[in-house]
Amino acid sequence: MKTESRLEKILNSGNLAVTSECGPPRGCLPEKVKEKAEMLRGVVDGINVTDNQTAMVRMSSFAAAVIIKQMGLDPILQMVTRDRNRIAMQSDIIGAYAHGINTMLCLSGDHPKFGDHPMANGVYDLDSVQLIQTVKKMRDEGKFQGNADIANPPKMFIGAAANPFADPFELRVMRLAKKIKAGVDFIQTQCIFNLDKFEKWMEGVTDRGLDEKVHILAGITPMKSAGMARYMKNKVPGMDVPDEVIKRLESVKKENQAQEGINIAVESIQRLKEIKGIHGFHIMAIEWEEKVSEIVEKAGLSPRPEI
Amino acid sequence: MQQHKDMNDQQYNGKSVLVIGGGVGGIRATLDLAESGRNVVLIDKSYAIGGLMTQLDRTFPTNNCDLCTVSPHLSESGRQQHMDVMPMTTLENLTGGSPDFTATLVTQPRYIDINKCTACGECAKRYPDWVRFTPGLDPRAPTCMRYPQATPYAFSIDMDKVTDIKKLQNICKANAILPDDKAVTKKQSVASVVLSVGADVFDSTCLDNYGAGNYENVVTGLQYERIMSASGPFQGDLARVSDRKRPKKVAWIQCAGSRGINSKRDVPYCSSVCCMYALKEAMVTKERFAKEIETTIFYMDMRTFGKDYENYFDRAQNEYGIRMVRSRPHSLVEDAQTKNLTVTYAQEEEPQCHTESFDMVVLSTGFRIGEETKDLAGRLGIELNRHHFAQSDTFNPVQTSKAGVYVCGVFESPKDIPETMVQASAAASMAATNLPAIVTDQAEKEKFLPERNVSQEPEKIGVFVCDCGFDIGGVIDVQKIVEYAGTNPDVAVAQAVGYGCSSESMAHIEKQIKDHQLNRVVIAGCSPRTHETKFQDLLRRAGLNKYLVEMVNLRDQNTWAHMDAPKEALKKAIKLVQIGISGVRRSRPLLDNTLPMSQNALVIGGGVTGMNAALMLAKQGIQVYLVERAPALGGLARSIQKTIEGGDVGAYMDDLIKRTMAHENIQVLTRSIIVDHAGIPGLFTTGIQTGLRMTYLKIEHAVTILATGALPNRPDEYLLGLNENVMTQIDLDTLIEDDTDKIQGMNQVVMIQCAGSREPGNPNCSRICCQTAIKNALRIKKTNPDADIFILYRDIRTYGFQEDYYREARNLGIKFIRYKASQKPEVKDSAGELSVKTHDFILGQPIEIAADCIALSTGFIADDETTEDLSMMFHLPRTRDHYFLEDHVKLRPVDMSVRGFFIAGTAHSPQSIRESVNQAQAAAGRAVTLLAKKEINLGAAHARVDSTKCASCLICVRACPFDIPFINAEGYSQIDPDKCHGCGTCAADCPAKAIQLLSFEDDQIMAKLDGLFERYN
Amino acid sequence: MITAEQKPVTEIINYISPYRRILLVGCNECVTVCAAGGKKEVGILASVLHLHFLKQGKNLEIDEITLERQCDPEYVEELAPHIDRADAILSMACGCGVQTIASRYKEKIVFPAVNTKFMGASESQGIWAERCQGCGDCMLGITGGICPVARCSKHLLNGPCGGTSNGQCEIGPETDCAWRLIWERLKELGMEDRYEEIMEAKDWRPSGGAGPRKIIREDLSL
Amino acid sequence: MNNFEPEIVAFCCHYCAYTAADMAGSKRIFYPPNVKIIRVPCTGKVDAIHILKALEKGADGVYVAGCLEGDCHFKNGNTRAKHRVTYVQKYLNDLGWETQRVAMMNMSAGMGERFAGTAREFTEQIRQLGPNPIKIAARNPKEQAAI
């Protein structure tokens, strides 16, 4: 065991892990965080706390993660390199670990252009790969990125994202390899709608035996409506939504589209379970946390093992 | 130099070349001669030069009125002094012999003093029926014919019609009317004569079967041109004569009066141009009026044999959807009410007759030689052929039966504008050989005072205002302008000068400049477009740089345009004059930079064309390098025995080669190839590797003539090369000469036309194949009268007089069987027994013909490799099928777009020996016009870079439409004055303002604005 | 080359409207080449300003001068004779030029007439694109000649991020994904393997992280 | 501002527009005398500065007249000119001037009617716009005082 991370334990136990996420509120009420997190109690092994996702200002992922931790749940601290330089990020990592947060996800983050502060300057002092290196170095060597020693270094279970659907496709496996080289422990993928393409990617991954070196959690997002599907296809960068999915949602009545979306999610999980190298699922039910348990149920992923 | 000049004078004082006929051909010949330094007299019986072309609306193959391209800029001094244009003049007789003729010329009274007439048009406006005036052209006319008064808009009084000459005299403010004008007879000593009298477009009314003349909606091709022409009867709207309505269905009937057997009304020859002009009229009809108008052409053979004409034909059918019906309708019937016309016709494919009704029918009538021309021929003592066209030499088409008398254009044989242009230049070129060029540059220099250096002088401006008679003076008070101009402190002289361009006024202005030591001149009169050069010369004569004059356009752009508002016109005039004065202050003396021109020529290709071109140049004292890649001269013609007219090619070639090798001015370089090239027009250097050792040698030359020829085509079909009895017409030609027995042994001979031509890969017509086939067929018949000869053809294209041989062949029982491109004949070889299978449209079934010999009319294919290499080396354009592409297919057929390059022979397009000779002479003639300049004038209006300001930003390099600027070794933009076209785009774009366009510099433009707006600044 | 483009004319007008006599100074270097502040643009701007103020009935006096290079004191010295009669200086050079003038003529107010944009190359006539951010530690040698710092909108040294679609950057289809370009280049060079080498966190000191930068050449300094 | 007679500058290329103007004259096609032509070899020579200076010096309207599009004697001078006219219009717009005070025209050498027509229309257009604001300002010292 590298860390105290529950997620690490689950994964090492050979069980399929399940994570989900909750986006912190755009205000100060801790209850908002609590409500969402509560819905996930006993349903998942870790809760990603997003870091100003889509570059919209929200409660800091650090603070929200602390709240969740205090509820006795297992937050996964997301950290983007967009908003803070290496000094700020390392201090947050130490601070978070001091609050018992032991799992984190290293991202570069959406460009400010997409957020509510397009005029903001992206920092990008480090990129995600370098952040992985940094966290690993802090954990394994007890040194800051700048090489100074850390008294009582943080032991973070390090995660990163992978998007098999962004192009150039041929780079996507190599990029994963690069993150592994940098020291990532687990990967949460972009939401998967195009399963064929995903399987192709996984072939590449297993061919190189990368699945032996990292735990891959397949990203799942239930669609609330055909409209949402279309939006994701056209508006969200690096998202690959096949037309069949949109057609399938359109084919049912509006009021039933949400249910259909959940069905699709569940079916996807069933199919993905069969793929070698998939060690779990990351269910991103954006502002729809209440549905996660249903999905986990139907996908036969519950109850979550006790460790 | 001086001595040389005297010698010149003794040789021929005032001797000229006489050009008869002022059509495009005559004008071309006149200009070529004048430019090459020969005195030339151009006479025309009409009161305006321009000839037939001026009546055409648009002309093929460019489908626009290109007259402006050719219209003589007769005011350009260099030419003017060699040129005397005499309208309304005829040749009475010609005595003596070459090169010492005496011509008696009679000029009919015009009753207008050309020197006074300003072409204001008042007389024609007030008394239209008393005054003859044909602008002739479409509305572009005035812009096209930039004629100064030497050849005016050509007014003349029809005295028989005039009832009261006084009235005329009163309205003519220029008092140019000469009531007692008399015919003038003049003796002119002449070195040679060029006949360019053209032919008449014959009176179609004799075609009663087509109701020509009785049916209103039956018109001739020329009438149709006039109807479409904007200057025509319906102001350029296509309309039927009967009801002024736009026709929905128009038909053309080809060969109306041509290729006929009815000797009363038809001529037997082919008029050569009708197929193309019918296609053109049909295309223009759809292009300019309405796509919906149905156009149908009834024809016998589609004769689009000219350069790229086959493509033109394809476009007509495929892009414009013009309907082609292969049939010669025997009659037309008019519907009494609708005045529509019913055409009855049959097609060989099927027996029954068709009838179809049209709104309008155009008779494609051809050329006839008129009685006047026959008389003229008599007076000149030249022979005519059986069709009354000028008899000319087989191997020298412009040579008439009389030494020193040359012919060009339609009078030689029916032909279109491009070929007329070629022949005109050829005839001019031949005519010039009888008359050494006048060495003028010396004379010029003597005529002009040395230029005064005005750089240190304060501006001293002279303003001269024309009243141009009523045209300016009648609208505004010239005196007021003069007074106003005087108020400018630096205006030393301000005067009214009447007709500024009249000789008296010019002399007066010259004197004023000298007396008052003026250093800037403003001429307020007509348009600089027509008169600037005239006044620039005036300044030179007065010892001033020619760029120190500014012309103010008071007439064309003021009084003419504002006659309705004289008060405002005066205000505007004053401002325009002020603009002129302010502008001229900033004008600087500029030098037309010139370079001495080499007097050598490079001729590439040692075939018929190359040798003829070389000899023409050599005869005129030009040093010629004749480069041939083969070990010996001769080219393709070497393998031809006879021409269709029976000329002995072999003998001709022997003699030609002998003369070429022998000429002291020709250096023959066989086994030679061009390897590099540099320089500017007039001063090229070209590298050649020559001889077995490929020795490198560099030659300097002013001009280059491309005579690289084409290749005999050998397509891979009809078993050619697989069976010895399948041969090309060239093989057959030799066989006929060398192996009489074999010919006599032949029972059946089959000839297949268009083998490897008019199909993908070689889309155009090879032009010579039809005549070649018929030529060889006739020769076989001579040696073996019993032989059955079959000619399988798509269209028989025996244009011009070749039609005679076509008829003869048919009379001798030679069978002509048509095939379609889609249904080509098949050649079979069963155990050495050859036979040809083809579809017979008349029998309506396939037939098989056993053949002892199959002759394929394979024609030409472009020498792709050679033209590609040379076009890359010389930066010359090529056609889609890899022939060289001339600068202007119609009006500059042997000039290439790069000055100093000329093209002739089959490198231009497929053509006969005779035609190649023509182009060779033409190319040489055109080359001489350039060489005669002796120096390269690079003009003054070019962009100049101030390297101290240049930021080397490349903007000019990228902006120049002609890729002239480049960043030189010092790292600054450099623009070669000799290459710059003078558009000024770079000057406008230069972000460092480091580039100025001389004579249009920014401060000059700003000064003009100041002049206009002084009130506010 | 340093690229710049003219400021909105209204902004320029606001700067100078309090003054009567303007010294308008162009530069014959970069801003000439990128058609922002050369002699030609100086003339055009002067005329535009005249149009505006004459319309107000105010006759603005503008002296137009274009210096060889506004970022060299010697050239800037050439303004000395004209400086006194000017109420304000309007510079069409990049920021370097404006500051050189400001430091030389302390008593006179200097306004910039252009916005200095970036270090770019001209793609074709009239089009300039950013190519360098002067990071002071050039890595083009290992990125196939394409700079991730200047051309990746996140300056990722280990790109591409997950936002690439159809080879374009997530910020918009008009921007190429620098890492796509780098990858293609590496493939052309047969250096695909290079891609998997991790680029360590960048030391930003040479790019200004350590404060304003200076180059000192002892051998040249007098 | 009644009986206002606009002062109009037309930069005409030698090969087309200037020739067309001569044509109009020789065919006696009348057009307003307000238009004063300045001849240039090609409209490619006409730059923003020339147009601006004309306005600055007091022109009520300025137009550039070149060959028909695609027919430029110098290949593309007229399209270059068109872009420069647009460039000037952008400035005028920023300054709150009427952009219609400057224009680009195209005509072939033969189009005397077209020349006269455009001259007529443009003059009328400027007449509607009224005089160059600079001139108005110059006439009312009051406004001047205001500044």
Per the DSSP assignment, residues forming a β-bridge with B569 are: none
**Cβ atoms of D110 and C19 closer than 8 Å:** no
Which of B993, B991, B964 has the alpha carbon at shortest distance from B976?
A: B964
Output the average pLDDT for chain D.
90
- Reported as a pLDDT band with limits 50, 70 and 90, residue B232 is low
Q: Which of C47, C61, C66 to mutate to test the interface with D (most CBs of D within 10 A)?
A: C47
**C-alpha to C-alpha distance for B236 and B239, rounded to whole angstroms:** 9
DSSP B867-924: HHHHHHHHT--B-TTSSB--SBTTTBTTB-SSTTEEE-GGGTS---HHHHHHHHHHHH
pLDDT at B138: 30
Predicted ipTM of the assembly? 0.88
Residues C9 and C113 occupy one common structural domain: yes
Q: What is the mean pLDDT of residues B133-161?
A: 45
In B695-813, which ranges are E strands? 695-701, 703-706, 711-712, 726-728, 748-752, 788-793
Task: For residue range B721-751, list pLDDT tens digits in order.
Answer: 999 999 999 999 999 989 999 999 999 999 9
| B820 interface with C at CB cutoff 8 Å | no
Fold for D8-146, please state it.
Rossmann fold (3.40.50)
C-chain residue closest to A131, CA distance: C201
B983: which chain D residues are within 8 Å (Cβ-Cβ)?
A: 41-42, 44-45, 73-74, 77
The answer, yes or no, to whether residue B445 has pLDDT greater than 60, is no
Task: For residue range B16-50, list pLDDT tens digits in order.
Answer: 999 999 888 998 899 899 888 889 999 988 876 66
- Reported as a pLDDT band with limits 50, 70 and 90, residue B915 is very high
| A134 interface with C at CB cutoff 8 Å | yes
| DSSP type of residue B648 | B
The pairing of strands B156-157 and B131-132 is antiparallel
Task: For residue range B277-327, list pLDDT tens digits in order.
Answer: 999 999 989 977 888 999 999 999 999 999 999 999 999 999 899 999 999
CA angle B786, B790, B793 (to 5 degrees): 155
Contact between chain C and chain A (3 or more Cβ pairs less than 8 Å apart): yes
Q: Which CATH class is domain B943-997?
A: alpha beta
C213 lies in some domain: no
Residues C26 and C98 occupy one common structural domain: yes
Domain hosting C198: range is 133-207
Angle between helices B566-586 and B478-486 (to 10 degrees): 40
B951: which chain C residues are within 8 Å (Cβ-Cβ)?
A: 28-29, 32-33, 38
Task: For residue range B318-347, list pLDDT tens digits in order.
Answer: 989 999 999 989 889 999 999 999 999 988
**C-alpha to C-alpha distance for D109 and D15, rounded to whole angstroms:** 7
CA angle B828, B831, B832 (to 5 degrees): 70
- Does A238 contact C170 at a Cβ distance shorter than 8 Å? yes
pLDDT at B235: 67
Q: Where in chain B is the domain with CATH 3.50.50.60?
A: 2-107+184-199+371-440, 201-368, 601-710+862-936, 713-859
- Does A167 contact C165 at a Cβ distance shorter than 8 Å? yes
CA A243 to chain centre: 25
Q: What is the mean pLDDT of residues A33-47?
A: 95
Contact between chain A and chain B (3 or more Cβ pairs less than 8 Å apart): no
Domain residue extents for chain A:
6-298
- Interface partners of chain C (CB pairs < 8 Å, 3 or more) are A, B, D
Tokens describing residue B955: 């903007």
**C-alpha to C-alpha distance for D82 and D103, rounded to whole angstroms:** 8
The alpha-carbon gap from B1012 to the nearest alpha carbon of chain C, in Å, equals 18
pLDDT at B165: 83
Fold for B452-586, please state it.
Rossmann fold (3.40.50)
Task: For residue range B686-712, list pLDDT tens digits in order.
Answer: 999 998 888 999 999 999 999 999 999
C34 lies in some domain: yes
From A82-91, B321-330, B515-524, D122-131, the region with the lowest mean pLDDT = B321-330
pLDDT at B164: 83
In percent, how much of chain A has pLDDT > 70? 100
pLDDT at B53: 61
pLDDT at C163: 87
The answer, yes or no, to whether residue B52 has pLDDT greater than 70, is no
**How many other CB atoms are found less than 10 A from the CB of residue B969?**
6
Q: What is the mean pLDDT of residues B673-682?
A: 87
C214 lies in some domain: no
Supply the CATH number for residue C22's domain: 3.40.50.2300
In percent, how much of chain B has pLDDT > 90? 63
Which of D10, D15, C31 has the alpha carbon at shortest distance from B984?
A: D15
DSSP B561-603: TTTT-HHHHHHHHHHHHHHHHHHHHH-------EEEPP-EEEE
B556: which chain D residues are within 8 Å (Cβ-Cβ)?
A: 21-22, 25-26
| A161 interface with C at CB cutoff 8 Å | yes
The answer, yes or no, to whether residue B441 has pLDDT greater than 70, is no
Cis amide leading into A303 (omega within 30): yes
| C33 interface with B at CB cutoff 8 Å | yes
pLDDT at B440: 54
- What share of residues in chain C are helix, strand, coil (percent, to 5)? 35, 25, 45
C127 lies in some domain: no
**C-alpha to C-alpha distance for A212 and B729, rounded to whole angstroms:** 81
C216 lies in some domain: no
Domain B713-859 CATH (choose: 3.40.710.10, 3.50.50.60, 1.10.3720.10, 3.90.180.10): 3.50.50.60
Output the average pLDDT for chain A.
94
The answer, yes or no, to whether residue B993 has pLDDT greater than 80, is yes
**How many other CB atoms are found less than 10 A from the CB of residue D117?**
16
- Reported as a pLDDT band with limits 50, 70 and 90, residue B72 is very low
Domain covering B601-710+862-936: architecture: 3-Layer(bba) Sandwich (3.50)
- Does C39 contact B953 at a Cβ distance shorter than 8 Å? no
Q: Which amino acid is at B130?
A: W
| DSSP type of residue B723 | S
Q: What is the mean pLDDT of residues C168-181?
A: 93
Taking the model in full, what pTM does it have? 0.66
The answer, yes or no, to whether residue B894 has pLDDT greater than 80, is yes
Q: Which of D38, D85, D132 to mutate to test the interface with B (most CBs of B within 10 A)?
A: D38
Fold for A6-298, please state it.
TIM Barrel (3.20.20)
- Reported as a pLDDT band with limits 50, 70 and 90, residue A202 is very high
Nearest by CB to B561, which of D14, D31, D76? Answer: D31
Residues C114 and C6 occupy one common structural domain: yes
**Cβ atoms of B69 and B892 closer than 8 Å:** yes
pLDDT at B330: 83
- Does D57 contact B1017 at a Cβ distance shorter than 8 Å? yes
Domain residue extents for chain D:
8-146
pLDDT at A38: 95
Fold for B109-137+149-182, please state it.
Alpha-Beta Plaits (3.30.70)
The answer, yes or no, to whether residue B938 has pLDDT greater than 80, is no
Nearest by CB to B992, which of C28, C122, C125? Answer: C28
Q: Where in chain B is the domain with CATH 3.40.50?
A: 452-586
**Cβ atoms of B999 and B965 closer than 8 Å:** no
- Reported as a pLDDT band with limits 50, 70 and 90, residue A194 is very high
Superfamily assignment of B2-107+184-199+371-440 in CATH?
FAD/NAD(P)-binding domain (3.50.50.60)
Return the biggest CA–CA distance within chain B.
Answer: 103
- Does D95 contact C43 at a Cβ distance shorter than 8 Å? no
Output the average pLDDT for chain B.
87
Q: Which of C139, C151, C154 to mutate to test the interface with A (most CBs of A within 10 A)?
A: C154
**Side-chain half-sphere exposure of B918, counting CA atoms within 13 A:** 28
Q: What is the mean pLDDT of residues B541-569?
A: 94
C-chain residue closest to B948, CA distance: C68
Q: Which amino acid is at C47?
A: S
- Does B991 contact C32 at a Cβ distance shorter than 8 Å? yes
pLDDT at B67: 47
**C-alpha to C-alpha distance for B201 and B52, rounded to whole angstroms:** 9
| B958 interface with C at CB cutoff 8 Å | yes
The answer, yes or no, to whether residue C188 has pLDDT greater than 50, is yes
The structural domain count of chain C equals 2
Domain covering B201-368: architecture: 3-Layer(bba) Sandwich (3.50)
- Interface partners of chain B (CB pairs < 8 Å, 3 or more) are C, D
Task: For residue range B805-861, list pLDDT tens digits in order.
Answer: 999 999 999 999 999 999 999 999 998 899 999 998 888 889 999 999 999 999 999
Which of B965, B958, B945, B956 has the alpha carbon at shortest distance from B990?
A: B956
Contact between chain D and chain A (3 or more Cβ pairs less than 8 Å apart): no
C40: which chain B residues are within 8 Å (Cβ-Cβ)?
A: 990-993
The answer, yes or no, to whether residue D147 has pLDDT greater than 70, is no
